[in-house]
Amino acid sequence: MSSSETILIEQNPPCIEEKIYQTVIFGSVFLALENGFFTYEELFEWLQNAGSEDKTLIAYKFICMKKHPNEHYMSNGDHFLVLQPEYTPIAIGFGLDINIPESINKDLETILPLSTKISYYLDNNLEYIFHQSLIILSQDLNASEYIQSLDDLEICYRARVFPYIRGLSGDEINKELIKSDWFEKFRYNEKLIHYILDRVEFLKKEAPIYYKDLAFSKYYKVVEKLYKEKKLFELEKDKLLCLKSHFPNIIDEKILDYSPLAYKISLLEDDIAGYVLGFPIQNMIPNNIQIQEAIHLLMEIGIDAYSKRIKDYVKSTYTPSLLFSTEINYPNSTDVILEDIDNYLPFDIVSFQIGTHMYRFTRSEYKQLISTKKNHWTNDWLPPSVLSTIKTRYEASKDMGLPKCYPVKETLEKIEKNEYFKEEEISEEPSSIAEPSEPNHLLILRGILENGNFRVLQY
C-alpha cells in the first residue's frame, strides 16, 4: 500500500453506524444530538436495526422529543413500532395514537391499525420493559418514585432526568453522572477527578470515536476547572502524570519536581494552602506567588525549621501590644490539652486581653467556649466581641472543611503522610433509593395502556 493510499484511508471519516453505536451504548445520545455528532434522522434509521435495551429506549426518547411518534414511519411506509414494538411504551408516553395505520404504503391491500401489531407484545412483555420506560419517561419531580437501585439512577441520568434522592451524597451522584457524561450536573469535589480518569480510560477503549470527536473537549474543560479550583489534591504524582497525558497543557509541570509534601500543598485551594503554610487567613488570603514562595522555603529548610519560623511569627505578631506600655501577663501558655499555643497555626489562635492579663485559645477549644460563653481559665463571661470572633472562626473552619487543629509541625507531617484529610464525614441522612414506593407503578402503567388514558409528555 502506498503512503498516499494510507493517508486517504486515515482521512476517511468513521462510518455513521459505528459513531451512533458507540454513543448509544457507551456515551450520551443527548450530548451527541446537541452537538450535531449525528442527526435525528440518522439515529432513527440506526434504531430500526438495533436491539432493545434501556440505552436504545433512551435514544428513542430523544427521537420522540424531536418528532411526534405518530409520524415515525420508515422509508418502506411501515410504522417504526411494527418493526420494533419494544419501544411502544416510550411512544405512548409521548402521546402515540395506537389506532393510526400500521403503514402508509398505499400498495398494500390491507392496512390495519397499529394496535393490532403491538398488542401482543404489550400483553406478554409488560414488567421489565415498562419499568425501564417509566424511569426514562419520568421527570425530575416524580422520578424518585420509580428508582429501585443505582442502576435505575444511571438510566435516569442518561435520559436527562435528575431526580431528588434524599441522603444521596455528591460523590454518589457523580459516580452515576459520569456514566452519562452529564457535565452540567457534576459536583466539583476532590473525588470527581478519579471518576474522570476511569471514564476516560473506559471511553478510549470502548468508544474511541465518541471520545476523540465529542467527549474529549468536554472533559478537557472539566479538568481545567478542577485544576483551577484546586480540586486535584487527592491525586498522587503517578495519577497526575496520567491526567497530564490525557489532557496536555493544563498541569503546571514544575510541581512534578516538588517534594511529596510541597506537591500536595501546591494542589490545595489557596485558602487551605495559606492556612497550612501559616498565613493569617482570617485577615488575608495569599495569592499563588506568595504560596509558591512559602512552598519553596518549606522545601529548602524542612518541616522542623519551617515550623519554628511559624512559631516565631506567631509569638511576635499574635501577642498584641497596647498603645501605652504596660506589663502583660500570660496566664495560659498552653491550651486545655497542654500544647504550647505558639505551636499552632495563626488561624487557630484567638487572643484577648483583660487589664494586664492576655488569654489565648486554640480552635480545639472553640466549640466548648461557644457553648459555655465563659473563659474556662477564670470562669468569667467572655466579652461579646471575643465570643463573636470565636464563633466566626469556628464556622469558617467548618466551611473550609478543615480537620481538627494540630500544631504546625504535626499538620505538615500529617499532610506528607496523607493522613490530614482522612477524617470521615458521617452523612446525617441515609440514602433512600433501596425501596420502591407504592402504589405499584407497573399496575399504573398497565391501566393507562388498557384504558387509553395516555399522559403526553411536554418538553
What does the domain layout of the chain look like in residue ranges?
Answer: 11-244, 252-416
Candidates 219, 263, 265; CA nearest to 243 is 219
Dihedral angle of Cα 329, 335, 337, 340, to the nearest 10 degrees: -70
CA 443, CA 436: separation in Å to the nearest integer?
14
Burial 358-375 (b: 16+ CB within 10 A, else e): bbbbbbbbbeebeeeeeb
Contact 185, 160 (CB under 8 A): no
pLDDT digits (tens, 9 = 90+) for 48-79: 999 888 899 999 999 999 999 999 999 999 99
Q: Is 152 exposed, middle or buried (0-12, 13-18, 19+ CB in 10 A)?
A: buried
Q: What is the pLDDT along the chain (459 residues), one digit of tens a residue?
A: 444 443 333 456 679 999 999 999 999 999 999 999 999 999 999 999 998 888 999 999 999 999 999 999 999 999 999 999 989 888 988 889 989 999 998 777 788 899 888 877 766 655 556 666 777 777 766 666 667 677 788 888 999 989 888 788 888 899 999 999 999 999 999 899 999 999 999 999 999 999 999 999 999 999 999 998 888 988 888 999 999 999 999 998 888 889 999 999 999 989 999 999 999 999 899 998 999 999 999 999 999 999 999 999 988 875 666 666 667 778 887 877 888 889 999 999 998 888 888 888 999 999 999 999 999 889 999 999 999 999 999 999 999 888 889 999 999 999 998 888 765 433 334 344 433 333 344 444 445 444 444 344 444
Q: Specify the DSSP class assigned to residue 274.
A: H
CA 447, CA 434: separation in Å to the nearest integer?
26
pLDDT digits (tens, 9 = 90+) for 218-261: 999 999 999 988 889 888 889 999 999 999 999 988 888 899 99
Whether the CA torsion 38, 44, 45, 48 is positive or negative: it is positive
What is the model's pTM? Answer: 0.76
Predicted pLDDT of residue 424? 41
Candidates 176, 231, 234; CA nearest to 422 is 234
CA 169, CA 186: separation in Å to the nearest integer?
12
CA 317, CA 15: separation in Å to the nearest integer?
69
Cell of 387: 465570643
What is the DSSP track for 168-215? --HHHHHHHHHHHT-GGG---STTHHHHHHHHHHHHHHH-HHHIIIII
Candidates 65, 60, 20; CA nearest to 39 is 20
Distance of CA 338 to the CA centre of its chain: 41
